[in-house]
Amino acid sequence: MTSLILVQNRIRKKTKDLLNDYEVPPIFRDDLFEILDRNSKRPPYRWIVIGPARSGTNIHIDPLGTSAWNSLIYGHKRWVLIHPDTPKELVRIPKSAQGVHPKESITWFMTVYKRICDGDWPFDKYPVLELRQNPGETLFVPCGWWHVVINEDITIAITQNFCSSINLIRVYPTICEERPGLSHVFLKKLNENRPDLLETVYKSLLDSKPILDGYSSSSCDGGETNECELTSSSSISVPDSTELSNYSSSSDEEERYSNDACSSNVTNSAVVEDGSEELNRKEVRHVLEASGDRSILEKIDSSENSTSYNDLANDEYTATDTSRSDELMKLSRYVTQKIDQDCFFTHHSLEDF
């Protein structure tokens, strides 16, 4: 018999006092989603997680390219984190082994985890990190990392996802892919509150690497329509030509931009050789106009090839050519350097990645 886990992300009026019972660890307070108000439909981001022994969450990547922290109040959790470049075919439960409970973490531990323990895994290429979280400890999960959790006994935890100035370069293109309406609202808010980050947004559009798996299930190989299929079939949409300064701040803002994006002509997307889609000239211009950088706009205007943005980025911004894993290593080092006594890792530190 499988065990259930309770995950609650809505703090209602009668329970809002719970928010006074904890504080976000100082290192994780750089949350750019804070600039989104309720009318902007901030994505769900904080949860109370309660579960008995043998319950847990199946293998997944956190949504919208966000990072997360998880503070354990009671009980013990067993975590396995797997390098973000690992193909989903390796980390997901094989269809032939899904059994009666294909979406349960216990099934993952009995199949994929067993294979890892038996040494049937390319550790040199796709590192695996295993740890035990004790009461009072806080775990950091970098954006893009596969992870799975199983409770060793009854557990109570608080967890939040966040977008910081460090992982914005991954979060923004992911939002463009999965929630285009929200991406335009977010861009407007960044322009108003954090114009210093517009260059980061610009770079993220040039070297677009959205993290699309989100809470996809290990059993996403069947014929039924599921989150994986919906995600993989979506495309990055572009906004209309309205200036950022004229964007409406009404409660239906995201929905309006989503509708505009859906009505855009398919030729607005530039397709590169490997078949992935990039945001087009109009999207890049949108960001640059917001930042007031005319020099790059002039280069784009004079460019004959609408897909040559990476060249422009290398000229003007020295866009990073490191792999995702290199960037996550930098993020890991940043976190471990600033971690304090109330927010630490067990069994391994992120320096061991």
| pLDDT at residue 50 tops 50 | yes
The single residue listed with the structure tokens 């990190």 is: 129
Alpha-carbon distance of 346 to 134, in angstroms, equals 8
Hey, where are the domains in the chain?
17-164, 168-213+278-296
- Helix (H) / strand (E) element for 176: namely helix 168-178
pLDDT in tens, 71-117: 999 999 999 999 999 999 999 988 877 766 777 888 999 999 999 99
pLDDT in tens, 288-298: 666 666 666 66
Q: Which CATH code for domain 17-164?
A: 2.60.120.650
Model pTM score: 0.64
Residues constituting the chain: 353
Contact assessment for residue 270 and residue 306, using Cβ atoms and an 8 Å cutoff? yes
The single residue listed with the structure tokens 């960044």 is: 190
